[in-house]
Amino acid sequence: MPDPREDRLYLDQVVDQTRSAMRHLREAQRQIAAVEGTGEAAQGMIRAVADGRGTLTGVKIDPRALRLDVARLGAEVTAAVQAAQEEAARRTGDIVADAAGRAGTLPEPLDERFVRDHVESAARELYTGGL
């Protein structure tokens, strides 16, 4: 028969592990919000910045880059933006992997059979006067 004290200890463990995992995930979320990936092209004349979600947050074009023909300028801007987004994605991926590792493995959720067995056991004990 299941021991209610063991169930309580198990439940306390699950709650503690879940709280710890949530703390790590909140910290990761804070870190991702601060991520900034940068990319450069055209020998540094074009610079792009992306945030942790990969959203472009800025582009800076040195006036000398405007001497490039339109097609080349577009390609260089695109290269800088892609580099910024890739760097942001890499940094974000590192944060997520670290958070997942620190969060640890949560216990398997209680299934219907486990709960039913415990309820039936408690009911039998009540019926027989065991509690």
Task: Note the pLDDT tens digit of each residue in 36-66.
Answer: 999 999 999 999 999 999 999 999 999 999 9
Helix (H, G, I), strand (E, B) or coil at 50: strand
Residue 66 CB partners (closer than 8 Å, separation 6+): 73
Closest C-alpha to 109, from 10, 29, 27: 10
Domains observed in the chain: 4-128 (3.30.1310.10)
Report pLDDT digits (tens) over 5-44.
Answer: 777 787 788 788 888 888 888 899 999 999 999 999 999 9
| pTM beyond cutoff 0.75 | no
Residue with token string 């006067």 = 129
Task: Phi first, then psi: give them for residue 109, nearest 5 degrees.
Answer: -65, 155
